[in-house]
Chains A and B, each alone.
Chain A
């Protein structure tokens, strides 16, 4: 039995060693990289046909629309919060920033939760996972996170941001067409995935062990201090539609309160980055791997 005992001790030792890994990112260690992609940019998606879903169903969007070329960043969201707070449109309720949402139609279906009109949490205050800090009057971004995607934001928080800038969350269809173009590709850039295309689980990007998220527009073909990326923008020039953070979309589906999350995140394996891959969660869900971008009429 001695070899068995030795094996067990070795396993225990390795476990303890691994468990000593850093749990929280050190702000000082986060690489400061400017990918050069403007988070304020919008891409025009023309009306027309596209292939929807894993099985390439023919679909159509009959109008032109615009979508942000990157996720909303922490810096952009902090600006929104400061403006909305000054205007009295949001409130600080304990450890949460809350804002009004007019509610969903409730069908009383099995597993459906009622989303009533009222104040809902947009984002937490003083949460260890948040990249924003609040000193009682002003929201500021933690050092190094300004151009990273806004995370720890509920669907209400994403919805509220887009509304504030005369936009909306993209529908599932709008999001998918913007990511895929008009052909049947599984990824925004084409048919294959490798580490240089996107931020996914164990993709070995420079932010893997620190912030975990990469700055918006990071995968644009630039080489950063020896780390080469491939331009992973969609056919319409939209970045980060696969990986980094899941993205809230705007549809409210009958029979469920859950909202769709699209695109996969840094926590997922590559197959979850396929364009048709769906995740979902209730609109109050808040996560370090969920962000959003907005759409608007063209």
Chain B
């Protein structure tokens, strides 16, 4: 019976450790491998990535904040289609950062939309750190 409890306990623990942490850890491992002096992700750089404007895929000056706004706890609005976007901060919207596949999809899309290229592992980790702790 003790064994059963241990197994159950382990399952509960695994179930509760958030998948996003595993994903961010794998980004950190990759960053460390590429650059041994890498110390960890930085929310300040993440904020810079999020709020700075660039000529995006549509040829217009935009930033992540153009759609998500500067207040991640508030709903945003797609600047091209006017569709409402739920808040990005996991503190305001528990769905956020809960599904790694979804996170990877949007990072790829939105880096391309704003920066016209995919994000590097460090950039992705920084911006996720910013969003996660907002």
Q: Are A and B part of the same complex?
A: no
